[in-house]
Amino acid sequence: MTQESKVAVVTGAGTGIGRATCLRLAERGWRIVVNYNRSEAEAKDTAAECERLGTEAITHQANVAEDSDCRGLAEAAVARWGRIDGLVNNAGITKVAAGHDLDALSADDFHDIYAINVVGAYQMTRAVAPAMKRGGKGSIVNVSSIVGLVGGGSSTAYAASKGALNTLTLALARGLAPEIRVNALCPSFVETRWVTGKMSAEAYTNAKAAVEEAAPLRRICMPEDVAEAAVWFLEGGELITGEILVIDGGIHLFSLGAAYKPAR
């Protein structure tokens, strides 16, 4: 690791996709701010594992729905290392609700989900942009979802928020060029605690089997698959911005709508 090692901020980094992204970055020598909101123990474990891989990592509590927290998160990175080169907007929430049940979601549910999944990504981008511009360039990766393209998923509010995040990605890519590139990842069903914790064991097994059957590559998405793409966008793709990359094992080659129809 050199003095010029790059610095990344990863939100929602204690578990799942966020943790996998931190570890992949650590393997490549990045210094990392491991953000968490409630999962402090998991975030500390992620940071410790990053350090075991030979890099520097710090944890920082922040709720990305709060603008002051987002600014504090960016300030922590700059105070420690003087720069920010990459941001992975991974923090997200949902509420499970059947798509046909319009009474299952309230206006407050929509506001809460959008506050993290959309406004949080915007606020984090705004917080890190000055440091990235001072450095001459930067890369931002928004972790979206396939349901932002096809509807369905855990709830209508979640799908709508991810659709908004995709549009936000395009708008920010235009607004922050040429110094900062902004791209999004749309994974399909991902095997993480975030997913399994919202389903019964039977429902999870059935959903996993259905996705594996529908996917030409015959497997579901793992956190490491998303992390690999995120790190590539951070390090490579110098001429790529405003891209929305689907990571779904090839399900999009057939009927996305059928594979991700809302549960009844």
Catalytic residue among 36, 158, 204, 260: 158
Neighbours of 98 (CB within 10 A): 14
How far is residue 38's CA from residue 23's CA, in Å, rounded to a whole number? 20
Here the contacts of 211-218 (C-beta below 8 Å, separation 24 or greater) are 211/249, 211/251, 211/259, 212/249, 214/251, 214/254, 214/258, 214/259, 215/188, 215/248, 215/249, 215/250, 215/251, 216/249, 216/250, 216/251, 216/253, 216/254, 217/249, 217/250, 218/249
The pair of structure tokens assigned to 223 is: 């956190």
Is there a catalytic annotation at residue 158?
A: yes
Nearest-angstrom CA–CA distance, 180 and 84:
11
Phi and psi, residue 137, nearest 5°: -165, 165
Question: What six digits make up the tokens of 181?
Answer: 């590139």
Nearby residues of 252 by Cβ (< 8 Å), 6 or more positions away: 146, 246
Angle (CA) 149-191-54 rounded to 5° is: 110
CB 13 within 8 A of CB 90: yes
61 is written with which tokens?
Answer: 């509590």
Catalytic (active-site) positions: 158
